[in-house]
Amino acid sequence: MRRDVFQAIADPTRRAIITLIAMQAMTPNAIAENFHTTRQAISKHLRILTECEVVKQEQRGREIYYQLEVKKLKEMDKWIEQFRKIWEDRFNQLDNVLSTMKKKKK
């Protein structure tokens, strides 16, 4: 199954994992210690994040570390940016309407 970055962030646990590893690479066990769920459930989330290319694995000796793939998040940010501009324009229009109404009251 082909997954995309939006499937990665659709789940709150996966978003929390992304937040955890944003600052430093972590092993699955270290990640699992931060959740009240099974190690297997965390492994499933990590697999989905890896398939979505939001995280990447790095072998260090016998341990596997997961780290954030910033390039993929930038793709998401680029897509969201178009909506950010739309909403900023709408808020500016609303601000103008409210300013005009306020001036008319005086």
Q: Residues with Cβ < 8 Å from 62, sequence gap 6 or more? A: none
Q: Residues with Cβ < 8 Å from 7, sequence gap 6 or more? A: 48, 52
- Positions in the chain whose pLDDT score sits under 50: none
| pLDDT value for 61 | 93
pLDDT digits (tens, 9 = 90+) for 19-28: 999 999 999 9
| pLDDT value for 13 | 96
Q: Is the dihedral of CA 92, 98, 104, 106 positive or negative?
A: negative
Give the domains, in start order, of the chain with CATH numbers.
5-105 (1.10.10.10)
Q: Are 48 and 3 in contact (CB under 8 A)?
A: yes
Q: What is the pTM of this model?
A: 0.75
* Rg from Cα positions in the chain: 20
pLDDT digits (tens, 9 = 90+) for 42-59: 999 999 999 999 999 999
Sort residue 59 into left (φ over 0), alpha (ψ -120 to 50) or beta. beta
Query: C-alpha distances in angstroms, 63 versus 50, 60, 103?
Result: 16, 5, 66
| pLDDT value for 47 | 95
| pLDDT value for 94 | 92
Q: Alpha-carbon distance 104 to 39, whole Å?
A: 62
Q: Alpha-carbon distance 9 to 95, whole Å?
A: 32
